Structure 1
């Protein structure tokens, strides 16, 4: 009996209770792996970034992924292309591939940012990055090699 394409790509439901998801520690910031790309046939993945005040993500560009981000808590200064703006809870943004973007938590409490990544396999970058940090402070060469593997360029 032959399996149809519909049956092969059937999506199972995924329910993630509040505060759960595989916890990754990246440079002292907590990251929750909410929905893994392996659970969505690689279509998308969802990460939650908890960022301490004064910390953030350096300006970077993805070659293959688009991101849809939603700020749950905190205040961020966001750079998107050549624009800088303040983001408050409830702000959602589409970050297309090829557009430089990054953020800094400018508030006085941790921020929480929900990030949907399309296609989803880029979630493995964060898993591998957390493993590097778990083994000690990664070298610039290790970070560069991982960035090349996942086609992300820091500016």
Structure 2
């Protein structure tokens, strides 16, 4: 039987916050909490941070921008999303996002089903501080979790 969880500000369901492509990530809900139905993450995206171009085959994702502004590229089309805006991505949508502003952005990500938290934990173990893991390790991890990395993160030339 699942139990309710209450987390104080700044807490995470992992021993420490995770480093996901240079973004500090707190796991707020993981598969164990939700009978694997969903996972929820709070990320702090520093300037010029964001994931590489990728696609999920197993998860739908919902993003909610809490603070700042992010540029999302969805199937090749750029969308600027400011605080209070959200993006829903059914599995199969090729995507990435980038913080082009000089300030940190904060966002929530919810994935369904919830096993994606395990991908983030594994990614944290192979990611150097503030960077991306070696491509060979990322490709192997992707294969295990049903993702495909298709290109680099957005760069200055990709800004709309």
Once the two structures are TM-superposed, the CA of residue 119 in structure 1 deviates from its matched residue by 0.3
Once the two structures are TM-superposed, the CA of residue 148 in structure 1 deviates from its matched residue by 0.5
CA RMSD of aligned residues (A): 1.9
Once the two structures are TM-superposed, the CA of residue 92 in structure 1 deviates from its matched residue by 1.3
What is the rounded CA distance, in whole Å, between the counterparts of 2:28 and 2:97 in structure 1? Answer: 20
- Tell me the TM-score normalised to structure 2 length: 0.84
Alignment partner for residue 100 of structure 1, among 94, 103, 116? 94
> 1:59 is matched with which residue?
53
Once the two structures are TM-superposed, the CA of residue 134 in structure 1 deviates from its matched residue by 6.2
Alignment partner for residue 123 of structure 1, among 105, 117, 123? 117
More helix by share: 1
The number of aligned residues is 146
Alignment partner for residue 38 of structure 2, among 38, 41, 44? 44
Q: Is the radius of gyration larger for structure 1 or structure 2?
A: 1
Q: How does 1:11-50 map to 2 (within 5 A)?
A: 11-21=2-12, 22=14, 23-50=17-44
Once the two structures are TM-superposed, the CA of residue 49 in structure 1 deviates from its matched residue by 1.6
Q: Deviation string for 1:70-117 (max 9, x for gaps)?
A: 001111111112321111000112111001111000111111110001
List alignment gaps of at least 5 residues for structure 2.
Answer: 151-160
What is the rounded CA distance, in whole Å, between the counterparts of 1:85 and 1:139 in structure 2? Answer: 28
Distance change (3 Å), C-alpha of 1:129 and 1:71:
same
